[in-house]
Amino acid sequence: MTDQTPPAGAREPIVVPPPSARSIMAIAAHPDDIESWAGGTLARALDRGAEVRLLLATSGDKGSSNPGDSPAEVAKRREEETCTAGRRLGLTDIAFLRYLDGEVEDTRELRQEMVAWIRHWKPGALFTFDPEHPYPPYIGHRDHRVVGRAAIDAASLLAHNPHAFPDQRNQGLLPHAVRELWLFASTAPTHWVDIAAGLDRKIAARLAHVSQTPDPASLDAGWRNRAAEIGRPAGLAAAESFVVVRLD
């Protein structure tokens, strides 16, 4: 996860409300990813009556600079922080796939698990990373690119297809069509969302990740500045930006 501000891109900003879907799903790589890139938009969607659920590929087991911390201890702590953050944001459900931090591969197994959760939660809109124009370019976290690619394939190609992972029917998991993708952490965003009404909750959720926050006051100020920088091209006081892809 990075707290830097992505560039505005070359397109004219399109300001949109949060997705209108009643069920929204986010697929991210690590604890605190979703707060960084989409927390304000999801907070606003929750306020409009949506149910929002989060699937994390890893539990951030390498998220410690202390060599004495075991990966299992780090993962347990970060999952607990994620659950606290989810309560602050208002998430309906959180699930962990528990792949190793920094070692996620775009495998059939990963796509199968993502499809199963999509079919279980039945989202109308799905949030994940932009794997084609990742931010920051060249040096963005590899897990972000891999998770974004797998999530897009799961949502756009597989979850709705009855011939993809047909054994999931035995678990009551029927094909489901996601209607739109909201891709974050992108160097080529197309759509901006006004998050002024969700910014405080976005920051409060991020501050729940205590192990990743050496200076809470600095983070609070930095994230407010970052939201303002992202919003400036669209004439917004605070914003998040996305690539929105319609699938229907």
Q: Domain of 85: which CATH number?
A: 3.40.50.10320
Instruction: With cut-offs at 50, 70 and 90, classify the pLDDT of residue 83.
Output: very high
Question: Using one digit for the tens of pLDDT, what is the confidence trace for 100-139?
Answer: 999 999 999 999 999 999 999 999 999 999 999 999 999 9
Nearest CA to 81 among 51, 53, 59?
Answer: 59
1, part of any domain = no
Distance of CA 167 to the CA centre of its chain: 28
Q: What is the pLDDT of residue 102?
A: 96
- Which residues on neighbouring strands pair with residue 246, listed in sequence order? 180
Question: Using one digit for the tens of pLDDT, what is the confidence trace for 213-240?
Answer: 999 999 999 999 999 999 999 999 999 9
Strands (E), the chain: 14-15, 23-28, 51-58, 93-99, 125-129, 180-184, 191-194, 239-246
Mean pLDDT of 157-178: 98
Quote the pTM value: 0.94
Mean pLDDT over all residues of the chain? Answer: 95
Question: Using one digit for the tens of pLDDT, what is the confidence trace for 47-76?
Answer: 999 999 999 999 999 999 899 999 999 999
Instruction: With cut-offs at 50, 70 and 90, classify the pLDDT of residue 7.
Output: low
Nearest CA to 45 among 12, 66, 20, 62?
Answer: 20
2, part of any domain = no
pLDDT above 70 for 1: no
Backbone conformation region of residue 237, classed left if phi is above 0, alpha if psi is from -120 to 50, else beta? alpha
Mean pLDDT of 177-193: 97
User: In which domain, by residue range, is 81 found?
Assistant: 14-246
Mean pLDDT of 176-203: 98
235, part of any domain = yes
Instruction: With cut-offs at 50, 70 and 90, classify the pLDDT of residue 12.
Output: confident
Task: Report the number of distinct structural domains present in the chain.
Answer: 1
Q: Tell the residue number behind the tokens 């606003």, with chain if given.
A: 44
Mean pLDDT of 14-34: 97
30, part of any domain = yes
Omega into 136 within 30° of 0, i.e. cis? yes
5, part of any domain = no
Question: Using one digit for the tens of pLDDT, what is the confidence trace for 119-130?
Answer: 999 999 999 999
DSSP state of 6: P
Mean pLDDT of 201-223: 98
Mean pLDDT of 17-33: 97
Instruction: With cut-offs at 50, 70 and 90, classify the pLDDT of residue 2.
Output: very low
Classify residue 54 by burial, with Cβ atoms within 10 Å: 0-12, 13-18, 19+.
Answer: buried
7, part of any domain = no
Q: What is the pLDDT of residue 5?
A: 60
Q: What is the pLDDT of residue 248?
A: 80
217, part of any domain = yes
72, part of any domain = yes
pLDDT above 50 for 156: yes
pLDDT above 90 for 6: no
DSSP state of 103: -
